[in-house]
Amino acid sequence: MSETAHSTPASMHPIAEPLTLFLVGITGDLARKKVLKAIYQLFSQHLLPEDFKLVGIARRPFSPEEFKQYLHDTIQPDSDAGWSAFCDKTYYIAGDVTQRETFEKIAAFHDQLKTCGNHLWYLATLPSLYETVAEHLGALGLHHSPCGWSKLLIEKPFGMNLDTAQKLNQILRSLFAEEDLFRADHFLAKETAQNILAFRFANGIFEHLWNNQYVDSIQVNSIQDIGIEGRGQFYDATGTIRDVVQNHVLQMLALTLMDEPSGLSSTSVRQQRREVLAHLRVAQSSAGQPAVVRGQYEAGEVEGQAAHGYLEEEEVAEGSQTETAVAMKFELDTPRWRGVPIYVRAGKRLARNVTEISIRFKENPNRMFGEQTISKNANVLTFRIGPNEGVVVRLFVKRPGLKLELEEVPMQFCYKNQFQMELVEAYVKLIHDAVQGDLTLFPQGDEVEHSWQVLAQVLQSPPPVEKYAAGTWGPAGFDQLLEADGRAWIEPSIDVCQI
Ligand SMILES: NC(=O)c1ccc[n+]([C@@H]2O[C@H](COP(=O)([O-])OP(=O)(O)OC[C@H]3O[C@@H](n4cnc5c(N)ncnc54)[C@H](OP(=O)(O)O)[C@@H]3O)[C@@H](O)[C@H]2O)c1
């Protein structure tokens, strides 16, 4: 992507004070895929202060030259213009973050380079290291900057269940004020997720219908056709519910279901998201069990290629019962949404690669067109989070001709069509907002705890996994979950907005 291709988004501003960004886990997968490119993009667009330093921390030994080469290989800048200016601002400290001496080296670095000013600590390392890093920061007083602010940006997962999330929150809050804690859930920073708020609250049309009087049901599909991509150890200890439902999916639902905030302040937006999560429940099946179906992929075929089963993946435990996909039914216990089922389907090695939220509106009770308007997809409004981002309403129209015959058509807004500019990459937005101190797109500690609470019973006693062939729509139980309610999954129409 060329540097000129990114115009500086009007809403983004540089900050004047000196800034040191400490990136713990600079050699990791996330840093390589997203974080370093995002930092460089902000730097190239002059959205970071002139007096900026990036300090990478990991165990891998690097000479200064090797480190610069690593950065170059990772970021792959389009041109060398500006590259050496960026490199001059980068430093590396090799060390094990479980050891106090690593933080002593960091403290000595402060003294040597006089990094007076604002400090952003970015934890993009193993979640099992979060507590120890925080404790070391506290023990050496590195959570304070004597001449500026000090904030912590921390990657999900925030704990592995309610207890561990509460413990992590407690440790973090003992060191940082809640307004200095930036818990990253990059889905919230996607343009299309932010657009849910704009679409709902800037237009009166749909908001009047956004309740149990007019909405039949809601569906979220957060599905991938890829497998676990060599991350067997991580995935086997995590599973789909912890990996995407507890965070991305519940946050998208919170944006979709929340009441209108009193204003644009982060406090009012976060408060309304929190209210949704505080009242969300996993529904019960007719047998009195949580309405949850867990799936695990077996060998199958994805895009014409043979794909092996989950149990054959490297570093997956023999006979593992970890789910690689899940279908769940939720309900929101508020006057606005009581009685509206919310279905979620998420996971890996499913038939498509798409994330979208669909609102199905109730049928017109009169039905002058009778059977002609029975359809799985009409009367549905879909927020396409990705790929081919947009908003689609599927409606019936009259097909041209002598007869009054109906045809289901999409009415769509597609980002690619409408705006001749790149979407702001989620990590660019997250790092920018953390530096600026805008908390809107970061879940607060209570939100995180509520979302673990919603899933606590399912995580404590999960149903057994049902097998499904890789590349399909999941086990039979996924369809049965909706069939029990007389409904069916809305098949994502991936061709929409494929411009
Ligand atoms: N990867 C993604 O796509 C993705 C997406 C969203 C969120 N996340 C989250 O981001 C975080 C990082 O994920 P990741 O996939 O990047 O993990 P990863 O590839 O395993 O990277 C871990 C990083 O931490 C460093 N590290 C590990 N142990 C260390 C120690 N004892 N002392 C110092 N450094 C240590 C590693 O470097 P050395 O081995 O050189 O020490 C490496 O830089 C996780 O919380 C993950 O859930 C990841």
Structural contact between residues 326 and 293, judged by C-beta atoms closer than 8 angstroms? yes
Ranges 132-146, 361-375, 395-409: which has the least confidence: 361-375
Structural contact between residues 165 and 447, judged by C-beta atoms closer than 8 angstroms? no
Residue 340 has pLDDT above 60, yes or no: yes
Q: Nearest CA to 429 among 186, 201, 152, 181?
A: 186
Peptide bond connecting 387 to the previous residue in cis, omega within 30 degrees of 0: yes
The pLDDT of residue 499 is 58
With a CB cutoff of 8 Å and minimum separation 6, the contacts of 179 are 437, 439
Please state the atom number of ligand 1 nearest to the C-alpha of residue 97. Answer: 32
d(Cα 445, Cα 240) in Å, to the nearest integer? 21
State the Rg of the chain over Cα.
24
- CB of residue 124 inside a 6 A radius of ligand 1: yes
Residues 377-404 have pLDDT tens digits of 778 999 999 898 999 998 889 999 999 9
Residue 367 has pLDDT above 90, yes or no: no
Residue 65 has pLDDT above 80, yes or no: yes
- CB of residue 25 inside a 6 A radius of ligand 1: yes
Residue 248 annotated in active site:
yes
- CB of residue 59 inside a 6 A radius of ligand 1: yes
- Site to substitute for ligand 1 among 24, 125, 238, most atoms within 8 A of C-beta: 125
Residue type, 202: A
The pLDDT of residue 7 is 46
- Span 361-370, mean pLDDT? 83
Residue type, 359: I
With cut-offs at 50, 70 and 90, classify the pLDDT of residue 417.
confident
Please state the atom number of ligand 1 nearest to the C-alpha of residue 184. Answer: 7
With cut-offs at 50, 70 and 90, classify the pLDDT of residue 283.
very high
Q: How far is the CA of 25 from the centre of ligand 1 (A)?
A: 5
Residue type, 266: S
Residue 2 has pLDDT above 50, yes or no: no
- CB of residue 96 inside a 6 A radius of ligand 1: yes
d(Cα 127, Cα 184) in Å, to the nearest integer? 13
Residues 136-188 have pLDDT tens digits of 999 999 999 888 999 999 999 999 999 999 999 999 999 999 999 999 999 99
- Burial status of residue 438 (CB atoms within 10 A of its CB: 0-12, 13-18, 19 or more): middle
Residue 64 phi/psi, 5° resolution? -55, -40
Residue 267 has pLDDT above 80, yes or no: yes
State which H helix or E strand residue 61 sits in. none
| Residue whose CA is at the smallest distance from ligand 1 atom 15 | 29
Residue type, 493: S
Please state the atom number of ligand 1 nearest to the C-alpha of residue 27. Answer: 43
Residue 261 has pLDDT above 70, yes or no: yes
Q: Kind of pairing, strands 342-347 and 215-223?
A: parallel
Residues 429-472 have pLDDT tens digits of 999 999 999 999 999 999 999 999 999 999 999 999 999 999 99
